[in-house]
Amino acid sequence: MRDYPDAIMMFAAGFGTRMKHLTQTQPKPMVPVAGRPLIDHALDLARGISPARIVANLHYLPDQLDAHLRAQDVKTVIETPEILDTGGGLRNALPLLGAGPVFTMNSDALWAGPNPLALLQAAWDPARMEALLMTVPLENTLGHGGTGDFTRAPDGRLQRGPGQVYGGIQIIKTDLLADIEAEKFSLNLLWDMMLQRETLFGLPYTGRWCDVGHPGGIPLAESLLAGADV
């Protein structure tokens, strides 16, 4: 089994409920930001590390997103009849992703700075880590209203707590997915298992990050992409 990731799982199945009227006729990843679908900004980062394959899961209004992604050589898997959440969605896509660790990537954030996938790739240590999350210090976030998801020890190990926001990109081993009986579950369940094993690590992002999962995030993201001081 390979120890280093060569596939990217892109989560694109959500309902986009925070986007309100913008997602009544289109899935959230197709909402335009700076004149391009939101998911295309994520694909720019993905292609920046030349993965062997990119896989996206779909559920809500999947047809237009499926056509958009297939035209860009992205493999898709439609979750039906129910959405499987992040953990169930990742496990459902494993036949397309292959064995070994994978990148997972949310499609509703914008990054300004070094490619977060490349940073994770360079820092990944499969001998110590079962997951390496890209975290963002609160002062580097835009459009985020919380206090953070994790605290980070000097050796990089994570614990639940305020200060570091999970940016939606990680490298994760998938072995423990086989131990979960539920069909629909969050990756938080997997992280909790890794926290117990002290194998959940974080890497702080040095650039800026914007949550675009709500309407107010769109103008912030567009200003960030334009290089404005936001």
Find the angle CA(198)-CA(156)-CA(126) to the nearest 5 degrees: 65
Pick from 105, 112, 206: which is nearest to 164 by CA? Answer: 206
Residue 34 falls in which region: left (phi positive, over 0), alpha (psi -120 to 50) or beta:
left
Flag whether 197 is in a domain. yes
112 alpha carbon, distance to own chain's centre: 15
Flag whether 2 is in a domain. no
Pick from 211, 183, 184, 4: which is nearest to 106 by CA? Answer: 211
At residue 227 the predicted structure's pLDDT band, cuts being 50, 70 and 90, is confident
Total residue length of the chain: 230
Q: How many domains does the chain have?
A: 1
Flag whether 177 is in a domain. yes
| pLDDT at residue number 195 | 98
Flag whether 39 is in a domain. yes
Task: Specify the CATH number for the domain of residue 170.
Answer: 3.90.550.10
129 alpha carbon, distance to own chain's centre: 18
Convert the pLDDT of each residue in 96-141 to its tens digit: 999 999 999 999 999 999 999 999 999 999 999 999 999 999 999 9
SS3 75: strand
The CA–CA distances, whole Å, from 226 to 136, 163, 221 equal 20, 27, 9
Flag whether 230 is in a domain. no
Which amino acid makes up residue 209? W
Pick from 39, 36, 25: which is nearest to 213 by CA? Answer: 39
Mean pLDDT, rounded, of the chain = 94
Q: Which residue has the tokens 């959440």?
A: 85
Flag whether 176 is in a domain. yes
Flag whether 38 is in a domain. yes
Is the bond into 101 cis (omega within 30 degrees of 0)?
no
Task: Please indicate whether residue 18 or residue 73 has the higher confidence score (pLDDT).
Answer: 73
Host domain of residue 148: 7-225
| pLDDT at residue number 134 | 98
| pLDDT at residue number 1 | 60
Q: Could you give the residue ranges of the DSSP H alpha helices within 93-211?
A: 94-97, 116-123, 187-197
Q: β-strand 7-11 against 102-106: which pairing, if any?
A: parallel
Convert the pLDDT of each residue in 14-64 to its tens digit: 877 677 677 778 899 999 999 999 999 999 999 999 999 999 999 988 999
Task: Give me the mean pLDDT over the 183-202 stretch.
Answer: 97
The CA–CA distances, whole Å, from 105 to 26, 130, 133 equal 20, 16, 10
Flag whether 50 is in a domain. yes
